[in-house]
Amino acid sequence: MGDAAMKEFGAAAPYLRKSDRERLEAQTRPFDMKKECFVPDPDEEYVKASIVSREGDKVTAQTEKGKTVTVKECDIHPQNPPKFDKIEDMAMFTFLHEPAVLFNLKERYAAWMIYTYSGLFCVTVNPYKWLPVYNQEVVVAYRGKKRSEAPPHIFSISDNAYQYMLTDRENQSILITGESGAGKTVNTKRVIQYFASIAAGGGKKDTGSEKKGTLEDQIIQCNPALEAFGNAKTIRNDNSSRFGKFIRIHFAASGKLASADIETYLLEKSRVTFQLKAERDYHIFYQILSQKKPELLEMLLITNNPYDYAFISQGETTVASINDAEELLATDEAFDVLGFTQEEKNGIYKLTGAIMHFGNMKFKNKQREEQAEADGTEDADKSAYLMGLNSADLIKGLCHPRVKVGNEWVTKGQNVQQVYYAVGALAKAVYEKMFLWMVVRINHSLDTRQPRQYFIGVLDIAGFEIFDFNTFEQLCINFTNEKLQQFFNHHMFVLEQEEYKKEGIEWTFIDFGMDLQACIDLIEKPMGIMSILEEECMFPKASDATFKAKLYDNHLGKSSNFQKPRIVKGKPEAHFALVHYAGTVDYNINNWLVKNKDPLNETVVGLYQKSTLKLLGTLFANYAGADSAESGKGGKGGGKKKGSSFQTVSALHRVSKVKYLRVKTDFHSVIQIF
């Protein structure tokens, strides 16, 4: 496909394929295949060089920087001829090795060609800037083309999945993987944009609400709504998804858009009440404070200063790349397009505001007693007002909760520390349940009841994370990525070779050295890290110290993946290190037992259930904790068993991880993002 054929791609053409002139120049450039090579370099991994001489197993070469080096023969990698420069599918290389792949990606990236194929993969390198490669004429240009007929692009992957679905009459899945900040969420949005555009049903807007949009509008508008409440600035990424999602887009037998649904995995709820210095809480808090809708500040009884609210001002409060005011309008409009009522929207905003006030409640110990009491009630009054509760009942529930001892209910005293912990846990629970309710509500809007035959699933999970400070949340995220990578490796390298044998191709089985099972077993098998954590949560006197001792007794010196952390001056404290596929990560285990048990003050939960704010009552309607009043009730209809919905975070994480790894997946479509 030359310059003339690329005209249909419009302004995107130079970002997708090199010109005829550049291609011709490459083919006529002088090149000596026997001399041109790559050699290792301490600063850049590899540099281009030309061989000067050989002696035994040593090779002397002059690098393109003019430096003469002598290296072992086995460290020399031959360069590919110039006609392969900026090649679109790296599987076509004459010499396929690490430096050839790195240089090709680097040179394409320098020309802003961010998409490159590597056999079955599409590799994406994040440009960290807007490129004109996603507009409508590009969508049209990729429509109905085979992969080999157009330049590499996320739209080509999407269109191929769509065509495979229709011709093979089989569901498809697109797997988007990569480290935190690589650009997975943006590419997920582009995939959804493509399907919404090419398969639009052309139906009229829902007449029930003048603001409610068409199905294709609604599918696209899921993103601003979910991102406002589920994305935040991290050290690595200004708009990091702090939850995983699997989006199914359902099609009719004709290929027309029929409906969609979203499944989410483990929102990082600890961020609601705590952020690292260079990070930020969820976008929605700062959107509301932007004053773009001043009526919200009035309704929520809040100022426009984030530093007035302890929960949301522990890190950064502004992000240069994000306009919170504009984003608030996008979030609010998304709710309208998705058909949320004004009452539902107000409920969401009120609970978000209540969480901000929750973090400001003050408590003190009574004189000569280890018993907490309110230190002023202004913030409790505001929280209670927004949550549809009685303020005195809220304070009493926090300071004097009722707990079950045997068959009796007794009032238990709480010290200040216990009350503050309960406040944080309740705020996180409200936010998490509200987020999950939003997903259910969005799915309700996207369920059109139209006949549906097939779906294309898009998996976008939190990327692998290695920060200076890594804790329970990072272990959960990294474990999921380890599991997914193993599943992927098995599919790409093991099953593929078995397919060769079935087809009678002469083939010597290659072990690619990509078995991640040892690390997975260390985390999830009996007496693994999660198992020991579960066990410790059952012992009343267990602590972080006893948990660490058990980890060391069971794994240090017995598993090469479990190590003592490196002590580096100025770095946060770490208690153990795990060797993952993407690198060695040091973990800090402070508060893991508490995070895993995740207990709630059930007296306050009881107040939530009776709230006059309809949404809050709905969120906790089915709550049954470890000792909830309802959990012991029997009688007709068989009440819930004790602890029927009380599960530790690690147990829930394993369930959700297994759930999406069992998704019927056909890997025609894999996007690896860097």
Question: Is 496 known to sit in a ligand binding site?
Answer: no
Residue 104 designated active-site: no
Cα–Cα–Cα angle for 575, 576, 578, nearest 5°?
155
Cα–Cα–Cα angle for 649, 469, 228, nearest 5°?
60
Asked if 504 contacts 566 with a C-beta cutoff of 8 angstroms, the reply is no
Asked if 649 contacts 627 with a C-beta cutoff of 8 angstroms, the reply is no
Question: Is 180 known to sit in a ligand binding site?
Answer: yes
DSSP state of 255: S
d(CA 365, CA 419): 10
Asked if 37 contacts 79 with a C-beta cutoff of 8 angstroms, the reply is yes
Residue 185 designated active-site: yes
DSSP state of 132: S
Catalytic one of 213, 315, 463, 528:
463
d(CA 391, CA 376): 12
Catalytic one of 88, 116, 118, 181:
181
Residue 584: CB atoms within 10 Å: 13
Q: How far apart are the first and last CA of the chain?
A: 27
* Chain centre distance of CA 153: 22
Across 546-570, b (16+ Cβ under 10 Å) vs e yields ebbebbeebbeeebebbbebeeeee
d(CA 574, CA 590): 9
Q: Which of 204, 205, 187, 197 is nearest to 247 (CA)?
A: 187
Catalytic one of 240, 383, 470, 480:
240
Asked if 303 contacts 265 with a C-beta cutoff of 8 angstroms, the reply is no
d(CA 228, CA 215): 21
Asked if 457 contacts 244 with a C-beta cutoff of 8 angstroms, the reply is no
Catalytic one of 36, 268, 465, 473:
465
Catalytic one of 118, 124, 158, 241:
241
**Strand partners of residue 47:** 39
Question: Is 183 known to sit in a ligand binding site?
Answer: yes
Residue for token digits 């009630």?
377
Q: Which of 292, 641, 250 is nearest to 454 (CA)?
A: 250
DSSP state of 216: H
Residue 465 designated active-site: yes
Element housing 518 (H / E): helix 517-524
Q: Pairing relation of β-strands 121-124 and 231-232? A: unpaired
Question: Is 298 known to sit in a ligand binding site?
Answer: no
Residue 596 designated active-site: no
Question: Is 279 known to sit in a ligand binding site?
Answer: no
- Proportion of the chain in helix, strand, coil states, percent, rounded to 5: 45, 15, 40
- SS3 letters across 561-615: CEECCCCCCCCCCCCEEEEECCEEEEECCCCHHHHHHCCCCHHHHHHHHCCCCHH
**Strand partners of residue 39:** 47
In three-state secondary structure terms, 241 is strand
Tokens encoding 624: 């049954």
Catalytic one of 158, 177, 180, 188:
180
Question: Is 629 known to sit in a ligand binding site?
Answer: no
Question: Is 179 known to sit in a ligand binding site?
Answer: yes
Catalytic one of 234, 237, 346, 669:
237
Question: Is 201 known to sit in a ligand binding site?
Answer: no
CA distances (Å), 158 to each of 163, 181, 226, 270, in order?
9, 22, 22, 35
d(CA 154, CA 144): 14
Catalytic one of 116, 185, 391, 618:
185
Residue for token digits 């949301």?
312
d(CA 432, CA 620): 11
d(CA 633, CA 652): 25
In the annotated binding site, the residues are: 178-185
Q: Which residues are catalytic?
A: 180-181, 185, 237, 240-241, 463, 465
Instruction: Cite the annotated binding site for ATP by residue number.
Output: 178-185
